[in-house]
Copies of this chain bind each other. A is one copy, B any other.
Amino acid sequence: MTKSNAFYAQSGGVTSVINVTACAVINELRKNQQQIKDIYAGNNGILGALKEELIDISCEPQGNILKLMHTPGGAFGSCRYKLQESSADFERIIHVFKAHNIRYFFYNGGNDSMDTAHKIAKYSKHIGYDLQCIGIPKTIDNDLAITDCCPGFGSAAKFLATSMSEANQDVASMCATSTKVFVLEVMGRHAGWLAAATAMATFDDNSPHLIIFPEILLNIDKFLALLEQKVKTHGYCCITISEGAKYETGNFLSASTSVVDSFGHQQLGGTAVNICTLIKKNLGYKYHYAISDYLQRSARHISSKVDVDQAYAVGKYAVELAMSGETDKMPVIIRKSNIPYRWAIKSASLEKIANKEKKLPKEYIDNDGFGVTQQFYDYLQPLIQGEEVPIYKNGLPVYAKLQKKLVEKKVKIYTPNI
Write the residues of chain A forming the contact surface with B, with a CB cutoff of 8 angstroms: 10, 13-14, 16, 44-45, 47, 71-81, 158, 161-163, 165-174, 176-178, 182, 184, 200-201, 205, 259, 261-262, 267, 269-270, 272-273, 286, 288-295, 297-302, 304, 381, 384-387, 389, 392, 394-397, 399, 401, 418
| Cα separation A395 to B14 with both chains bound (whole Å) | 23
| Cα separation A74 to B170 with both chains bound (whole Å) | 7
Q: Which residue of B lies closest to A296 (CB)?
A: B290
A146 to chain B, nearest CB (A): 25
Is the CB–CB distance between B273 and A289 below 8 Å?
Answer: no
Q: Which residue of B lies closest to A297 (CB)?
A: B170
Is the CB–CB distance between B301 and A290 below 8 Å?
Answer: no
Q: A44-B177, A161-B396 are in contact. Are A293 and B290 (CB under 8 A)?
A: yes
A270 to chain B, nearest CB (A): 7
Q: A169-B71, A169-B399, A395-B384 are in contact. Are A174 and B78 (CB under 8 A)?
A: yes
Is the CB–CB distance between B14 and A74 below 8 Å?
Answer: no
Q: Which residue of B lies closest to A166 (CB)?
A: B298
Chain B residue contacts of A172, Cβ below 8 A:
73, 77
Name the one of B201, B288, B293, B397 contacting A294, with C-beta atoms under 8 angstroms. Answer: B288
Is the CB–CB distance between B177 and A47 below 8 Å?
Answer: yes
Is the CB–CB distance between B289 and A269 below 8 Å?
Answer: yes
Chain B residue contacts of A387, Cβ below 8 A:
389, 392
A386 to chain B, nearest CB (A): 7
| Cα separation A280 to B16 with both chains bound (whole Å) | 27
Is the CB–CB distance between A396 and B384 below 8 Å?
Answer: yes
Q: Which residue of B lies closest to A18 (CB)?
A: B173
Is the CB–CB distance between A79 and B176 below 8 Å?
Answer: yes
A205 to chain B, nearest CB (A): 8
Please, could you name 18 A-B residue pairs with CB atoms under 8 Å apart, sorted by A?
A: A14-B174, A44-B173, A45-B176, A47-B177, A73-B172, A74-B173, A75-B173, A79-B174, A80-B174, A162-B397, A170-B294, A177-B418, A200-B395, A267-B286, A270-B273, A289-B291, A290-B292, A291-B291
A235 to chain B, nearest CB (A): 9
Is the CB–CB distance between B158 and A395 below 8 Å?
Answer: yes
A275 to chain B, nearest CB (A): 14
Is the CB–CB distance between B302 and A14 below 8 Å?
Answer: no
Q: Which residue of B lies closest to A182 (CB)?
A: B294
A116 to chain B, nearest CB (A): 14
| Cα separation A75 to B300 with both chains bound (whole Å) | 28
| Cα separation A45 to B13 with both chains bound (whole Å) | 44
A372 to chain B, nearest CB (A): 15
Name the one of B14, B286, B395 contacting A385, with C-beta atoms under 8 angstroms. Answer: B395
A109 to chain B, nearest CB (A): 13
Is the CB–CB distance between A169 and B73 below 8 Å?
Answer: yes
A169, A172, A292 interface centre (most CB from chain B within 10 Å) = A169
Chain B residue contacts of A272, Cβ below 8 A:
291
Name the one of B74, B292, B300 contacting A295, with C-beta atoms under 8 angstroms. Answer: B292
Is the CB–CB distance between A162 and B396 below 8 Å?
Answer: yes
Is the CB–CB distance between B162 and A301 below 8 Å?
Answer: yes
Is the CB–CB distance between B73 and A201 below 8 Å?
Answer: no
Is the CB–CB distance between B177 and A262 below 8 Å?
Answer: yes
| Cα separation A169 to B16 with both chains bound (whole Å) | 10
| Cα separation A156 to B300 with both chains bound (whole Å) | 17
| Cα separation A396 to B381 with both chains bound (whole Å) | 10
Chain B residue contacts of A169, Cβ below 8 A:
71-73, 75, 298, 399
Q: Which residue of B lies closest to A382 (CB)?
A: B395
Is the CB–CB distance between B173 and A78 below 8 Å?
Answer: yes
A57 to chain B, nearest CB (A): 17
Chain B residue contacts of A161, Cβ below 8 A:
395-396
Chain B residue contacts of A384, Cβ below 8 A:
394-396
Is the CB–CB distance between B395 and A44 below 8 Å?
Answer: no
A161, A176, A302 interface centre (most CB from chain B within 10 Å) = A176
| Cα separation A283 to B261 with both chains bound (whole Å) | 18
A45-B176, A272-B291 are known; give 13 further A-B pairs, CB within 8 A.
A10-B173, A44-B173, A47-B176, A71-B169, A74-B170, A74-B173, A267-B286, A269-B289, A270-B273, A290-B292, A301-B302, A384-B394, A385-B394
